[in-house]
Every structure is written in structure tokens, then in C-alpha cells.
């Protein structure tokens, strides 16, 4: 899939904005057998600014080689990362394969500012970020493994953009749908996004109903999962148009 081929149905996007990553991972495990869709080891720079949804726009780093970094005898003349920051479509999630390297920052405040101007939905890296204080002020959801002062070329080079990558133990294909919230980041295969959004929304409706029953004194063993009595009661609630539940 091309990096610019990332359109998503508005109704799917709207549903995923209100479905939690906990629900999405449950859907992927139970209904699709996908156990490895949650990016490991990343945390939000700002817990109060961590919710995002969008198609993946991928960047892959490789270990640096001294003769190729700035100042080296064969220093690279092109910077795919700068090109990516200028080309990334609005609404995308910038997903970086940093080889788990937290000793440097893959992005700093200038490149991050460009992503804000481009309308990027969020940034995820399985390595470090730099310029953390100004980046925190940008209202951009950012997940990473840590903070690193050195620039990326101190230990890494950008190999390519728009390729299949691994990020925090998760295979990410450009156009996969990436969702982040306070629980973490999950990657949904693009072909499953519509179904996961619909089924996830219904799961959260049913679990909200179950939670109200538990709060009112129902036994978990009877309502989660629902026994015959509660299934009938739940269906009656659906048929009635899902009115407010009385305690």
C-alpha cells in the first residue's frame, strides 16, 4: 500500500475515536486471532494528550555507520526523514521503527512542529524523543520509549519511509490503523478496521450495560458473560432503543 493511500471511512474513524485500545485488543484477539497488535514499551509524553486515531505513515531507522553520518567521508546527501515530514498526509500517525534505541531522539521540536502543521494525528516511536519540553507544549500525542538528548544521527540513520516496519514488537504496514489512548497503542490491519470499529463499539455498549448491573449488585458470574436471564434483559434494552438504565 502506498503511503498516500490511507483514506478511512469517516464513520469508521468516528467509531474508533470512542473505542478504547483495551476493547480493540480484545476484538483482535477473540475474533481474529491476532495476539501481537499492541506496541510494547511506549508511554505518552503527556498522559493528558494521548488519544489519536489514524493510518500509519512509516519510517525505518537502521544503525549508523560513521562514514555516512554528517561529516563522514561518504555522508548521505538526502534526508528521507525531512522528506517524510514534508509529505505526510493530514490525519496520519507517524510510526517510527527506531530499533528500540533510547540513546538518541528520532524527532525534535522543529520536525515535530512540521508534523503539527501537516495535521498529523500522532507520533509513535519505539525509541527516544528529544526536545521533550517544547514538544510537550505542542498538543501532539506522542508515544515513545524514553527521552534522549543526542540527535538521531549519533547512532541511527533513516533507511527508508513507506515500508513495512517493526515497532515495539508489532509489524506495521503503511495504512494500518493506529489507535492510542491512556492504555497504550494498538495497530489494526487496514482490512479489519471497519469490522473492529463496529464490533468494538457494540462491545463497549454491552460492557457499559453490564457495568451498570454490577454497580447495582449483579454477580459477575451471572452477567459477565451474561446468563440467559441477563441476555434476555439486554436484548429487551436494545429493542427499546437503549434507554438510560435505571439503578
pLDDT in tens, 57-112: 999 999 999 998 887 777 777 788 999 999 999 999 999 999 999 999 999 999 99
Helix axes 21-32, 193-215, angle to 10 degrees: 110
d(CA 69, CA 108): 18
Which residues sit opposite 96 in a β-bridge? 59, 125
- pLDDT of 155 reads 92
Nearest Cα neighbor of 38 from 151, 170, 205 is 170
- pLDDT of 140 reads 96
Distance of CA 1 to the CA centre of its chain: 18
Residue 1: band (very low, low, confident or very high) from pLDDT cuts 50, 70, 90: very low
Which residues sit opposite 170 in a β-bridge? 167
H/E segment holding residue 197: helix 193-215
d(CA 223, CA 229): 9
- pLDDT of 242 reads 87
- pLDDT of 77 reads 77
167 φ, ψ (degrees, to nearest 5): -135, 115
Q: What is the percent of the chain where pLDDT is above 90?
A: 85
In the chain, the N- to C-terminal Cα span, in Å, equals 49
Nearest Cα neighbor of 170 from 69, 41, 5, 16 is 41
pLDDT in tens, 11-24: 999 999 999 999 99
Can you tell me the mean pLDDT for 228-233?
95
| Cell numbers for 161 | 519511509
pTM recorded for the entire structure: 0.91
What is the domain partition of the chain in residue ranges?
Answer: 10-192, 196-239
Question: Is the confidence at residue 246, as pLDDT, over 60?
Answer: no
pLDDT in tens, 107-127: 999 999 999 999 999 999 999
Output the DSSP codes for 45-111.
S-TTS--EEEEEEEEEEEE--TTTSTTSTT--S--HHHHHHHHPPTT-EEEEE-TT--SSBS--HHH
Question: Is the confidence at residue 162, as pLDDT, over 90?
Answer: yes
- pLDDT of 4 reads 47
| Cell numbers for 145 | 520509549
Residue 184: band (very low, low, confident or very high) from pLDDT cuts 50, 70, 90: very high
* Class (C level, CATH) for 10-192: alpha beta
Amino acid at each position: 500500500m502506498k503511503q498516500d493511500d490511507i483514506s478511512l471511512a469517516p464513520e469508521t474513524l468516528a467509531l474508533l475515536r470512542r473505542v478504547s485500545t483495551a476493547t480493540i485488543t480484545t476484538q483482535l484477539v477473540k475474533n481474529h486471532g491476532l495476539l501481537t497488535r499492541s506496541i510494547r514499551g511506549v508511554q505518552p509524553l503527556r498522559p493528558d494528550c494521548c488519544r489519536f486515531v489514524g493510518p500509519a505513515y512509516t519510517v525505518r531507522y537502521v544503525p549508523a555507520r560513521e562514514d555516512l553520518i554528517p561529516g563522514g567521508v561518504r555522508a548521505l546527501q538526502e534526508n528521507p526523514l525531512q522528506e517524510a515530514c514534508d509529505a505526510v498526509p493530514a490525519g496520519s500517525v507517524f510510526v517510527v521503527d527506531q530499533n528500540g534505541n533510547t540513546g538518541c531522539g528520532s524527532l525534535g521540536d522543529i520536525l515535530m512542529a512540521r508534523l503539527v502543521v501537516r495535521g498529523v494525528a500522532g507520533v509513535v516511536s519505539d525509541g527516544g524523543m528529544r526536545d521533550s519540553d517544547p514538544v510537550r507544549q505542542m498538543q501532539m500525542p506522542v508515544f515513545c520509549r524514553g527521552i534522549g538528548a543526542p540527535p538521531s544521527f549519533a547512532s541511527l540513520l533513516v533507511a527508508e519511509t513507506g515500508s513495512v516496519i517493526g515497532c515495539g514488537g508489532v509489524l506495521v504496514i503503511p495504512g494500518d490503523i493506529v489507535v492510542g489512548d491512556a492504555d497504550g497503542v494498538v495497530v489494526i490491519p487496514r482490512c479489519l478496521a471497519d469490522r473492529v470499529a463496529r464490533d468494538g463499539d457494540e462491545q463497549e455498549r454491552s460492557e457499559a450495560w453490564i457495568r451498570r448491573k454490577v454497580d447495582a449488585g449483579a454477580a459477575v458470574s451471572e452477567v459477565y458473560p451474561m446468563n440467559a436471564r441477563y441476555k434476555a434483559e439486554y436484548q429487551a434494552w436494545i429493542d427499546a432503543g437503549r434507554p438510560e438504565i435505571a439503578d
